Chains A and B, each alone.
Chain A
Amino acid sequence: MKILVLIGNVPDTTTKIKFNSEKTALDASGVQWIINPWDELALTRAMELKENSAGAIEMVVVATVGRQETEATLRKALAIGADKAIRIDTEPKDGFYVASQLAPVAGGYDLIFAGIEASDYNGAAVGGMLAELLGIHSISSVSGLQLEGGQITINREIDGGSQTVKMTTPLMAIVQKGIAKEPRIPAMRGIMMARSKPLEVIPAIEVDVLTSFESFSLPPAKAACKKVPEDQAKTLIYMLRDEAKVL
């Protein structure tokens, strides 16, 4: 059995976001790049599954669409435990473009993990699109995944509760928080071994770019906090109703 984990290369979640002067792209200077947090959890779960599979899972592969600078992120994934990394050498322009680039390398896996969205553009599109291109089942909002024999049991968070679903392979699992407890920290041994693991670079294929970014804007600065003296609870209620309109 083989697992593929899709890896997004995103700015560290504490990055102060800036744009270029035309406001059409992120100003990436000084940005620290990390594995998309949902993808990191997916990889952690994939490693747990492999370790508990008594050899049934032979391989965990990670794949990303990006230029050479994304290799640090892939090598971290190798240090965490992935056996092999694939990088498709092009800019990840939009969800469909990325899914189309991944499709030629994503065949033949029993289970594919995608994070529910990337923490940069929050497109939440690649997993579903790739499943469609591959012609396999996909299931989203996965917050738990168990593997027994060929049978996959999935837990999903749904409105007001949770749902348990049985699925068979091949499957695209689009995962969210809960899929693994915490992202795995790479051990020294893993970091050392990452050097000698294969990192395959594949040229991009021709795909039409269907979207273009017109402009970005930052959210408004947080308004100053208003303090209500403790003996004026009524004022607070009025403010919540009339000004904040949350009541």
Chain B
Amino acid sequence: MNFNFSEEQIMIQQAARDYAQRELIKDVLERDATSTFPAQHVKALSELGLMGMMVSPDYDGGGMDTVSYVLAMEELSKIDAGTSVIVSVNNSLVCFGLEKYGSEKQKEKYLKPLARGQKIGAFLLSEPEAGSDATSQRTTAEDKGDYYLVNGTKNWITNANSASTYILIAQTHPEKKHKGINVLIVDKDSPGISLGPHEDKMGMRSSDTHSVMFTDVKVPKENRIREDGFGFTFAMKVLEAGRIGIAAQALGIASGAFERATSYAKERKTFGTTIGNHQAIAFKLADMAVKIENARNLCLKAAWLKDQNQPFGVASAMAKQYAADIAMEVTTEAVQIHGGYGYVKEYHVERLMREAKLTQIYEGTSEIQKIIISRKLLK
């Protein structure tokens, strides 16, 4: 068993860390306050190759493994999860799905610009009345011979406005239930697509989240991924992989808050000594460190299984559930350690706490992850 990272993995980790600590940090508070999309950062992250880092170089990607992806996601998320979610969705939902299941023609046309980061992708699964319950899709893709006619509404779509390419899950044969669901590649500028207002979120405020309405949108048949009815399998497989990205994001939020809390505990003095010398604070930090280490190991294990082409669905569910839950706990404690300072924006930890909350909700809530884990146990 080898716990050492390769030279390349360390270089990727450092590259992501350098970018986050040098650039993302500069305007993260302002973007959080104004809910501004980090267009320039996305451009720079594309130039660094982080927007399609796991895609094969044959399709203009970075050709990196999932372990490297976890390392990079952790570093970006320590500073700015609102930006790292854009990276995560593009990499592990959109690019991963296209590369694994798309046709050569689809990869050539859609995957390459996404892997280069010239375009951004979005994954459209959730609906007003169907989140993790993906079988209850109400958005329809009616088979019209040469094309599908799409009608319906998708909710909570990350990158909805900034994306050019949508990966859409929609129902074609309601009578077949989940076996009637299709996955279509949709150009965002297709006639009939409109966006709801920018969601005013609690955290991750610089990512652009909207609902997307489809009214008689024509999608060419050639934009369907795989065979008729493949959509549900596609969504489940892609979410398995996506969870690793969000787990690593939650890990980064936790470790970012922990680093801030630790350095604050070394500086802040009460009763004649640094607060880190008070056992009440020291033990908090110890508890936080153990949780983070566990979360990191779960993330890396899931990533490693994926890299070894072994089943990783349960491992990624465990990583996501645990990392998200401890991100909430660790960030809450980080605010507590900071006291009053923790409650104001300047010290970042209140923002990290707001960001942590979303990791327990999106790409499958913690409860959904427990369903996935327990079903496997009880099979």
Contacts and interface: CB of A to CB of B under 8 A. Distances in A.
Given A75-B7, A185-B48, A192 B19 contact: no
For chain B, which range describes its interface: under 10, 10 to 19, 20 to 34, or 35 or more residues?
10 to 19
Contacts, number: 47
B22 A192 contact: no
A191 B12 contact: yes
A79 B47 contact: no
B53 A188 contact: yes
Interface residues of A, number: 15
A166 to B, nearest CB: 34
Contacts of B128: none
A195 B63 CA distance: 13
Given A188-B62, A189-B62, A195 B49 contact: no
B10 interface: yes
B50 interface: yes
B63 A185 contact: no
Contacts of B10: 72
Given A185-B19, A194-B8, 9 more contacts: A185-B15, A185-B18, A187-B47, A188-B48, A188-B50, A188-B62, A191-B64, A192-B57, A194-B11
B86 to A, nearest CB: 16
A188 B12 CA distance: 7
A13 to B, nearest CB: 13
A79 B11 contact: yes
B8 A191 contact: yes
A186 B50 CA distance: 11
Contacts of B18: 183, 185
Identify the interface centre among B7, B47, B64: most chain A CB within 10 Å of its CB. Answer: B7
Given A72-B10, A187-B49, A192 B15 contact: no
A188 B63 contact: yes
Nearest to A72: B7
Interface string B63-84: 1100000000000000000000
Interface of A: 72, 75-76, 79, 182-183, 185-189, 191-192, 194-195
A191 B57 CA distance: 12
Contacts of A72: 7, 10
Interface in B1-26: 7-8, 10-12, 14-15, 18-19, 22
A185 B19 CA distance: 7
Q: Tell me the interface secondary structure of chain A in the complex.
A: helix
Contact of A186 (B11, B22, B57, B63): B11
Most buried by B among A75, A186, A191, A194: A191
Contacts of A191: 8, 11-12, 15, 62, 64
Nearest to B47: A187
Nearest to B53: A188
B7 A192 contact: no
> Ordered nearest first, which 9 A-B pairs have the shortest CB separation?
A188-B49, A188-B62, A187-B49, A187-B48, A185-B18, A185-B15, A191-B11, A188-B53, A72-B7
A189 B22 contact: no
B311 to A, nearest CB: 27
6 contacts: A75-B7, A185-B15, A188-B15, A188-B48, A191-B12, A192-B8
Contacts of A79: 11
Contacts of B64: 188, 191-192
A75 B7 CA distance: 9
A79 B18 CA distance: 15
A18 B48 CA distance: 35
